[in-house]
Structure 1
């Protein structure tokens, strides 16, 4: 380790670089030129800092991001050596980078490119940088006020999220706390921080929370330092804390753009709903087993279970009880929807969770565990499908049952409540192009085609990322990662109209008409005409499409949207909303599948997705790895694809996709490359050329030689 008595070697280099960069606040053109010269001198490709490739301005946090992103440590150190020479830094270039938080290597700039940022965005980042250095030097009220103004201004910018806390940590690691997802998860755990700290700051450090304002951010810093000073934990500085969080997660890069998902629960407020009146009147939900104490004190379900066995001393495992208390305290979250039940067949209310878990020590009825809830409905609704007996059940995975319960309470007011429950991350065209190895021109063509045609199929060989592309295409067209407006199903040979649209299903009393997944999705989109919805069908050619779509076969056409047609199993007339887009995916290399129905082909546009080895994005990724064996393997696969494409029995649809090689930088090693060749590529060649053993041997040898 590069530390002694809590001091990390890298911090001196980072702090001195920050001091040097401040001199360029008013001369950024010189800073840009110096950065370009550094990369030219060290013979590395300058990361993309502007849309056209030529940087015209830069902020200090992005300078740090040049060598604090998910690339190999040897490349990071190589860049730092060039920086040290160019900026005359006296501190030693660190050789160990363990525990230093890094950005996604494809998205390491703190600003939008020209045309996608406001005129003062980079100026604001410089103002924050300067005020942060001053506050770290002298924590006066004036400096604190100036920092807060600069931080909150920068936070309003499009590309500033949790990454700004990482940037502040880089420039003054002993003063500012990094709040990337790794550290937030660490701080949110009562094993690592006091329970009162977790309870007080959990709205700001949860993985799905919004970035706190400057005032709250500084309060978190002050609270952390108080914890350090208590001497109760092995870390006494932010670098030690960050390293501990890094060690716990084994140094794996995090995606700091996590998407929160609303969960749905059934809940029994005591035996025969005895606590329902109190819960409804006070806007709370109560859970028993209060004798075991504050649930925040337990670090595992097994610990809760053990405590129950010791206190109640009954001959039972308490497996379900401990699971319920754990979920109530740790897994349920604000925005989740609660369906209140009485027994197993009656729903008596519905509400939305508005608070985190609380322990009320003053209650004497054993219902000491509570959350605050906005109860939106009260009444009595009988169900034909019985609910689980358990006090608390997460029913989110049971789509049909959730939809049945939601239909009971359908109203515009409730839909508005659901919409307000989650703030989804922004997702732009640039985000798409940084993750998907595709040209900008092709992306724009696909978007135009999908908006016009409404239905497209992404076809291509295995491993070209069709499913990955489909979801991100939807996000980019919506502008946000709104998981509530994107739904994916996978077709198979047993998939039916009854699964997709509607049909009769057996129940205890006979048969009941059940709505299918596509029907429900369209109904959801129907009442939200201002927003786009995307229905993704993976492996679309594996199902009998004419039977699955049934009478909706005609309605999926663009000019037939909003036209109503009589349903097969009901008196209802149904239409597909204009805002619903259908994205299908299919493997062109699957020789066992029949061709698509020609009538259905007319209703879809087909887009070929090719291996992305020659795209700018993949080349940038490949260069960032700086791995000779990886380069040789890619060159070999590109040559192999030419042979496959020219083979009369195969063709372009059988080419090997780039997804086989899209690994996290630290995972690219000899063992990983060996596994790809031996267990993925060579078996594929044996299937392709099952009757040409000599060709299999030739290219197997070529692939193996590439990684020797």
Structure 2
């Protein structure tokens, strides 16, 4: 493929820029001056490249990192245009950036800041840059030897891991293989590469892989070239390979839990933080329990617990210990944030996880389990809320505590947040209609109504998927599964204004004014005013709405958006952004709940969600299962719904929804699974509906059971 077309138009620009940067190896002050001028000219803030702001030295890979990290594509292109002007490049600035590997925003430099790096670290990166260009131009033995020496030296430095392969790929994309997590996962699949390749390079491409040393890295490049030349695979160059890996991992996740989310952890590096100095110096985090061996071989937490009981004390459960080791190897991931604790009230550091789990069998102190971490902060900060005693705790669900810890390390917030972009999966109208059993006409009606009214309530019977629809509706209107722009809460009888907007909460020293979830979400939407935000309230009719919304009762109306009003607990004047949409869900079969306040009712549009058994989507799903018992059960439920709808004491709002039956695959539609739905979900529901008509319950119980016999 012509590298000025399609996915690979970027390669000419990157290659020429690398050539121009080499001219500044001995004049890095001039390079820094040019970079500052570029950002000033394009009116963008220079990212933080040193503790004091402007760097005193810089390496060429970090220069590439300025426009190869998680920021918006239009900003990346703008920076490249500035580079093209400043360095007088002839190659066209690429407009398609698909498939180009990018750095994590919080780990976008290849060196430690002053005081956190060795004197020669940046020189070593320049030596690697020079040797890489020479080797790509002439693969002589001397050039290969020089590259290996420079590569292995750089690899021994802090902050250098897989990112070095990414940097080499940027500067010579047709010569060096990129080994970021996407490519490693792709290469490890024997459907994408020959089985002997996967077996040979398994130590460097499996989940818990180590960065290959120079000789192994170059050997892998040679092996990839041989695969390309074989003609047995659709990719014949490294850009084609990398793009194929990118496309492979861009597939839409099956559920929202697979959408990338940063998790926050508290971590104790040994008793009384005894391992903290070593962890900080080496850029790692260590976990004990080394005697049980490589954690990645255990299939479950219970297996870990059993091994701990065998080695240590059989009369101890090791429940928390096994949970910590399981999370360390299975749940923690690169990009997660680590808060290092000493005792229960002192925080001594913060860092970003940069690697998968690794097992170090040669350590003799039993701290054989590690991950690499970019430690960004070190010091001593006392906190009000005491941390858990456990060695490792996922504190992500405790948003208030997370915010307290984040506030401690508030540094360069604009650089880290304003332009940060995550490549969330695309989610279109077609995706919505393929997952939600609803007609295209009704979908458009709901979207238009939400745009017009700003606030809607999805009401319907149990199991029609109201909450599922609310989330998917938000994603489809945004065009991506951007979880940062969707917030969900569930109302209940005790939910209050203080939870929702703001209120005073007790602390050790008295009371403190805390912001609520809706207040914080509105502020987030206010800053990002060009984009839509969606606030979903599940079971909206379970709360005292007038009490919860308080003085914001008026502001949720469409024509009152961005009008400011005085808040109850502060002297702040507050407004609800125009592009913030509220989606409520309401179960019409819940007889215990009072009707909605009329004044609030008129501020929402109400949309009835009906069972989707008759939709084209559900029929296609049913056909794909090809199961007679499932078909008979659906026919029985459809007939049952007709009876429920005609019942004067019930009505359509009590019909049985399709979501009871939507989780099957052809291989999982077993007799036991169908029986469980009937016995433990449908029959109890009928007993509640017809609590005073035992004969009707018996009639339909028998019909449901007969359908699956």
- Contact 1:201-1:220 at 8 Å conserved across structures: no
Aligned residue for 1:487? 487
- Contact 1:640-1:699 at 8 Å conserved across structures: yes
Aligned residue for 1:228? none
1:386 is paired with a residue whose SS is: coil
Alignment partners' CA distance in 2, 1:533 and 1:382: 35
Aligned residue for 1:564? 564
- Over 3 Å counting, the alpha-carbon distance change for 1:333 and 1:693 in structure 2 is closer
Aligned residue for 2:205? 200
**Counterparts in 2 of 1:613-624, with a 5 A limit?**
613-624=613-624
- Contact 2:588-2:654 at 8 Å conserved across structures: yes
After superposition, what is the alpha-carbon deviation per residue over 1:418-477, rounded to whole angstroms, capped at 9, x for unaligned? x55x54322221111111100111112212222332221100111111111111112222
Q: CA deviation at 1:329?
A: 3.3
Q: CA deviation at 1:490?
A: 1.5
Q: CA deviation at 1:620?
A: 1.1
Return the TM-score normalized by structure 2. 0.60
- Contact 1:165-1:176 at 8 Å conserved across structures: no
Aligned residue for 1:686? 687
- Contact 1:257-1:425 at 8 Å conserved across structures: no
- Over 3 Å counting, the alpha-carbon distance change for 1:254 and 1:615 in structure 2 is closer
1:603 is paired with a residue whose SS is: coil
Aligned residue for 1:650? 650
Q: CA deviation at 1:530?
A: 3.7
- Contact 1:176-1:221 at 8 Å conserved across structures: no
- Over 3 Å counting, the alpha-carbon distance change for 1:434 and 1:311 in structure 2 is closer
Alignment partners' CA distance in 2, 1:646 and 1:305: 55
Alignment partners' CA distance in 2, 1:287 and 1:335: 18
After superposition, what is the alpha-carbon deviation per residue over 1:140-177, rounded to whole angstroms, capped at 9, x for unaligned? xxxxxxxxxxxx9xxxxxxxx99x999x99xxx89878
- Over 3 Å counting, the alpha-carbon distance change for 1:369 and 1:686 in structure 2 is closer
Higher mean Cα deviation, 618-627 or 363-372?
363-372
CA RMSD of aligned residues (A): 4.2
1:498 is paired with a residue whose SS is: helix
Unpaired runs of 5+ in structure 2? 1-172, 174-181, 211-219, 228-252
Q: CA deviation at 1:675?
A: 3.8
After superposition, what is the alpha-carbon deviation per residue over 1:13-53, rounded to whole angstroms, capped at 9, x for unaligned? xxxxxxxxxxxxxxxxxxxxxxxxxxxxxxxxxxxxxxxxx
Return the TM-score normalized by structure 1. 0.60
Aligned residue for 1:668? 669
Alignment partners' CA distance in 1, 2:256 and 2:384: 42
- Over 3 Å counting, the alpha-carbon distance change for 1:304 and 1:469 in structure 2 is closer
Higher mean Cα deviation, 541-550 or 336-345?
336-345
Q: CA deviation at 1:634?
A: 2.8
Aligned residue for 1:357? 357
1:406 is paired with a residue whose SS is: helix
- Contact 2:456-2:604 at 8 Å conserved across structures: yes
- Over 3 Å counting, the alpha-carbon distance change for 1:521 and 1:221 in structure 2 is farther
Alignment partners' CA distance in 2, 1:437 and 1:444: 14
- Contact 1:334-1:352 at 8 Å conserved across structures: yes
After superposition, what is the alpha-carbon deviation per residue over 1:245-288, rounded to whole angstroms, capped at 9, x for unaligned? xxxxxxxx987993333211012345554555554555443445
1:202 is paired with a residue whose SS is: coil
- Over 3 Å counting, the alpha-carbon distance change for 1:463 and 1:299 in structure 2 is closer
Alignment partners' CA distance in 2, 1:165 and 1:272: 41
Q: CA deviation at 1:379?
A: 4.8
Question: Which of 411, 417, 433 is residue 415 of structure 1 equivalent to?
Answer: 417
Aligned residue for 2:425? 425
1:648 is paired with a residue whose SS is: coil
- Contact 1:337-1:350 at 8 Å conserved across structures: yes
**Counterparts in 2 of 1:197-596, with a 5 A limit?**
197=202, 200-202=205-207, 258-273=258-273, 276=276, 279-280=279-280, 282-288=282-288, 295-296=295-296, 320-321=320-321, 323-359=323-359, 369-410=369-410, 411-415=413-417, 419=420, 423-596=423-596
Alignment partners' CA distance in 2, 1:586 and 1:674: 28
- Contact 1:458-1:584 at 8 Å conserved across structures: yes
- Contact 2:208-2:358 at 8 Å conserved across structures: no
- Contact 1:353-1:374 at 8 Å conserved across structures: yes
Alignment partners' CA distance in 1, 2:314 and 2:507: 36
- Over 3 Å counting, the alpha-carbon distance change for 1:379 and 1:600 in structure 2 is farther
Higher mean Cα deviation, 551-560 or 462-471?
551-560
- Over 3 Å counting, the alpha-carbon distance change for 1:544 and 1:689 in structure 2 is same
Alignment partners' CA distance in 1, 2:645 and 2:316: 64
Alignment partners' CA distance in 2, 1:702 and 1:560: 53
Unpaired runs of 5+ in structure 1? 1-151, 153-160, 178-186, 188-192, 206-214, 223-252
- Contact 2:466-2:609 at 8 Å conserved across structures: yes
Alignment partners' CA distance in 2, 1:539 and 1:299: 38
After superposition, what is the alpha-carbon deviation per residue over 1:396-437, rounded to whole angstroms, capped at 9, x for unaligned? 2223212332344452233369x55x5432222111111110
Q: How many residue pairs were aligned? A: 487
Alignment partners' CA distance in 1, 2:333 and 2:604: 40
- Over 3 Å counting, the alpha-carbon distance change for 1:276 and 1:524 in structure 2 is farther
Alignment partners' CA distance in 1, 2:225 and 2:209: 9
Aligned residue for 2:636? 636
- Over 3 Å counting, the alpha-carbon distance change for 1:523 and 1:354 in structure 2 is farther
Alignment partners' CA distance in 1, 2:582 and 2:378: 37
